[in-house]
Structure 1
């Protein structure tokens, strides 16, 4: 269809004598979105790559160390292109898949490599040789990387329960890309590190600055250590304040209104968007895409069909009903069947076209479809059209949400139990991860639905509604990323707790050992995903801005304030588990060391 549209549309649009012809419709909108997304992808990559390198340089100090994760990220992007090309041979893939999965794959590959390089440098500093340092680093950080990738992949797997090709195609692509990012980091890092050896700290651009600073601080004097202790001295006040702020940021989401994507996903002024705006402004809302009723059990032209069409025409919102029995309006026949009525004949049945004055993308359009379906029919009927598709899509998504939620909750509870040995920490982490999404969900409504602060992300066509699949996609991706960082933090906290038995000390130790690293990793992912907000397509703007905000909130307010507050309040209860589960963890549990 894409090739047909791109080959046909240029020949039939433009000036034709006195006519100025523009094309729109589902296929044309997809074709323009595909072309625009390719342009946007190049812009996003050009923006994200240098910023990512700067963050890596600030984190490591050494240009050599910074270039290694960046190189792994580039390899992951190349692999992502290949994966998506192969997927298109076996299934339909969304036009937005390349932008989303490329950003996700690059961000995760750089993050995972960041953790491996950090552990390798620690092992070198401890006096190990290059080969021993690589092996020790992969035994610890490499195992955690694979475990963390599993959490993201399982979170994305929840999208597979939805019978929507957009979500399913992104699930297939996302899972493969996450596995590819982890595999690239673990498999490519050893030869790279062996090649660079002890030169990993070369070209230290911050060495002159460090020479002018006083001696290095002990871990107890570090920023994250001091922040953790400050929070744990007033856990109730700080924790409650942050939780209330995050809950308040989520309040706009209670007013969310959802619809399917249409031409208004395109930038303002694009050909399809202008043509559709003209139709919306000058024709009844459903004349170009009427509600269609198929009646395979009714003979065309029968009295039963005429009576059914008459009753449909009497519904509030119906402009007219065209059928094989004639045209009906206001509960009566307006015109007898003419030559055009033959178009409504089918094999063993007929169909009716209902033109409504209701906007098919609105709540009124959905109510109209439900009213049509409630009219007693002379036989089995099927109701279609844009509004019917929207109703059925929402109903389908709503019915599958509990299953998706159960997949995420159960898988994350099991994984975090295997990692922590506790039944309390996994439950607490699920709640905290939900809070990390509140600001993003509130911003979706405040900015993209209600149109406030549009200048932050650039102009877009404001429809007063959100694309119905985006919150689900954003939840699964952001939840997986939040859990990803939880694994790195909790592994260090547990390591110290097992060594000392001091919960407060363990939290401060874990925060200090991972705070700088997780912050850098979160910044990289936020920049890579946030670069999608520079897109001219509103759906990519929404996903990019929302995911970037979720990652930043998780790395700052949740990891920096809520986690130490909650850990301090629960104390030793954090690590509680029934004895049978303790024995299970002793046998099958996973740790970083």
Structure 2
């Protein structure tokens, strides 16, 4: 590989314009693919096979009107006064005209809904009065019937006495028989009236029972409102025909455009995140500042504007190609909005670093008197070989995200891997081409003169700068460094023990956004739980009639209402076959609160109601909980895969068992310390004001997994550039402890610069408007800072010193079967030494 890269570097330097033209064509193809294939990004996340997904599928089958996505349009008066009749009419007119909106199944008028609820309450009052009046009438009729029955009983007694007397006297009874017939007819008529009265009383009892069931349901739904108590705010619910992951951005924008098309005087309109959550800005001011800092670091290290500019140029070209190529497939696969942002982060960071490694090696060789193209080839074969290995490590770690079984996470890893792969290819082709064009101008004037003297053999100036002799660190210093480093990392990691994961809600949106206004208005006017409405389904027994369904609805609603932190419950639909009922449930707190998470779990763990009614829970809050729990469950698997991969690769590269253990153990320490810092800032709110974070909450659910993949790859990069120099010195005969310091001194400057560049690039994203991007940028920046400066440059050298020669021990049988991986291109350097 080293020899191949050596030849490729020299060829690129000789055919510089051809290489540049080739990359220009590739860039143009990426632009063309983007223009043709890009179809927009989604701000939603989902995982197949979750409990909420099963409930949604069932709703789509039996209650399709409730199986799609939904969102809220919030109308509020500018001065906080009650909406006027004219303003209400304007809102209702917009709702009435919304029938033709794309993928919209229904838009609920809040004023009609409130009126219907008021009418139901009045009907309840009227019904109770009617029942009371009906009962009084039945009682009066019963009194009359009882009096008539008494009269007939008395007449019967008299007739019986008359019959007895007539029979005793031998008189005929024909007249008495006729009277008896009349009396029997009167009794039959009275019995019929009694039956009618009994039937009426039974019907009244049935109506009373239904009325009371309805009253109980109305009481349970008392906390659900669509117009605030002060009348200043109204919630318009928009139901879509498509599930949230399949809902197009055009449909959402259509709703926004419609409700903003006719402004209403004195009324503001805002939209919930389900409708208006924006796609985060891929590149902003913060990222520009990060690049400026990176440019300063490059200028300090390389000492030349031209040399400092080359890594920036190659990185930007690589990011453009990688991100545009990724977006070209957004019309084919569902792509999360954060995917291209992750590509930009990685593409810029590794693109600058990988080019820097080659340029820095080239400059050192020029100062030693090497010819330009020979130096380019040699730098490409040595540092470029290390870049190939380092990039491959990051790529494999990112591609391994696919083993989690989470589609959007696997796609993010694949997109990031593509951007890293492009950065590697550009580093070993375009960087040598540009170096060939600039020639010796990659050096500043004074270094260029020293390089000329070195080539002509006048080495006075070249050898004038003699570095101080390298000495091993003291054992006491090594022990103290190990103890302090480990304790410091463990202390920083403490907050990770209380990590909660979730997905961002409206409270994390930018403060001037429509989504944030909608969220806060809804919370202030209707309660925090209105932002976290749950959709609960109940599977009813088959064969129920409408009256029995009503009884079951009340039974289920009361069971739900008995759960802690439930504010209101309302039945909203029953399937045509009477086998599925849906309920709207308002929790006490917001979608990311501990109580709402616990409520979802409690509802799912409830035993079958009435012996055979099973509940299911869906809704945005439940979906977010399912996604977060699924991602938390795959983290140990992914961490095991990455750690195992780390051990295998490090054993292969360093031909040692203890060095890989040190590298992997250090990575795990820095990873959990990074988790702790992320929790402290984004969950606990420490230093939130410093970065302009206005809202705290659970950690982004897929952030822990993403950090494992990316930080692992970057940690192995720095491990390679430092430990390979130590191994090279040890193999060439230096004592083990001296070799540690020789390798450290050889690689510390470039690793320091590379780490600072990555921290700057990632840190620029901390000031993004999107909380998702903020947390990813912070986690990566802090993780690189810890791993590079604490683990790789303090802890690892100290441990290597304490281990001495045993650090490089490997069983002979394993040493024999392992291939010789010359990552630093030492063999090439011996063949083509300067």
Give the TM-score taking structure 2 as reference length.
0.63
Structure 2 gaps of 5+ residues are 1-247, 451-460, 827-834
Long gaps (5+) in structure 1: 324-340
**C-alpha deviation, 1:314, in angstroms:** 2.6
- Residue 87 of structure 1 aligns to a residue in which SS? coil
Q: Secondary structure at the match of 1:22?
A: strand
Q: Secondary structure at the match of 2:714?
A: helix
Q: Distance in 2 between matches of 1:423 and 1:361?
A: 44
| Residues 313/10 of structure 1: CA separation in 2 closer, same or farther (3 Å cut) | same
Matching residue of 2:746: 513
Structure 1 SS opposite 2:271:
coil
Which one has a bigger Cα radius of gyration?
2
Q: How many residues in Structure 1 have an aligned counterpart in Structure 2?
A: 560
SS of 1:316's partner is coil
Flag the 1:356–1:264 CA change in 2: closer, same or farther, 3 A: closer
Task: Please give the per-residue CA displacement for 1:243-265, whole angstroms capped at 9, x wherever unaligned.
Answer: 11121122122222332211223
Contact 1:298 1:305 in 2 (8 A): no
Which of the numbers 240, 250, 253 marks the counterpart of 1:3? 250
Q: Is the 1:284–1:356 Cα contact (8 Å) retained in structure 2? A: no
RMSD: 2.8
Shift of the 26–165 alpha-carbon distance from structure 1 to 2, 3 Å rule, reads farther
- Whether the aligned pair in 1 keeps the contact of 2:569 and 2:586 (CA below 8 Å) is yes
Match of 1:524 in 2: 757
What are the within-5 Å matches in structure 2 for residues 26-425 of structure 1? Answer: 26-29=274-277, 31=278, 34=279, 36-38=280-282, 41-202=283-444, 217-221=465-469, 229-230=472-473, 232=475, 234-295=477-538, 298-299=541-542, 301=546, 302=549, 304=552, 306-323=554-571, 345=576, 349-377=580-608, 378=612, 381-425=615-659
Classify 1:486/1:154 alpha carbon distance in 2 versus 1 (closer, same or farther; 3 Å).
Answer: same
CA deviations on 1:153-209 (whole Å, 9 max, x unpaired) are 22223432345455333212111111111111012122222222333214569999x
Comparing 172-181 with 6-15, greater Cα deviation is found at 6-15
CA contact (8 A) 2:569 2:583 kept: yes
Distance 1:313 1:575 in 2: 65
Structure 1 pair 275–175 and aligned structure 2 pair: CA distance change class (3 A) = same
Give, in whole Å, the separation in 2 of the partners of 1:196 and 1:207: 16
Scaled by the length of structure 1, the TM-score of the pair is 0.87
1:539 equivalent to 2:772? Answer: yes
Deviations 1:45-85 (A, max 9, x none): 42233322221111111223222222211211211232222
Over 3 Å counting, the alpha-carbon distance change for 1:201 and 1:346 in structure 2 is farther
Check 1:515–1:590 CA distance in 2 against 1; reply closer, same or farther (3 A cut): closer
Q: Secondary structure at the match of 2:272?
A: coil
The yes-or-no answer on 1:463 pairing with 2:696 is yes
Q: What is the CA–CA distance in structure 1 between the aligned matches of 2:601 and 2:820, rounded to whole Å?
A: 55
1:405 and 1:57 map into 2 onto residues whose CA distance is 37
CA contact (8 A) 1:493 1:507 kept: yes
Q: Which residue of 2 is the match for residue 329 of structure 1?
A: none
- SS of equivalent residue, structure 1 residue 461: coil
Is residue 2:433 matched to residue 1:433?
no
Q: Does 1:499 align with 2:767?
A: no
- Once the two structures are superposed, residues 391-412 of structure 1 have per-residue CA deviations (whole angstroms, 9 ceiling, x without a partner) of 3223312321221012101111
The range that moved more, 54-63 or 522-531, is 54-63
* Shift in Å, 1:148: 0.3
The answer to whether the 8 Å contact 1:268/1:460 transfers is no
Contact preservation (8 Å) 1:533, 1:540: yes
In structure 2, C-alpha distance between the alignment counterparts of 1:55 and 1:347, rounded to whole Å: 69
Query: Is structure 2 residue 25 aligned with structure 1 residue 25?
Result: no
2:284 is paired with a residue whose SS is helix
| CA contact 2:639–2:708 (8 Å) conserved in 1 | no
C-alpha separation between the residues in 2 aligned to 1:359 and 1:373? 19
Distance 2:530 2:299 in 1: 58
Secondary structure at 2:567's aligned position in 1?
Answer: strand
Q: 1:118 to 1:205 in 2, by over 3 A?
A: closer
Q: 1:20 to 1:109 in 2, by over 3 A?
A: closer
Q: Does 1:487 align with 2:720?
A: yes
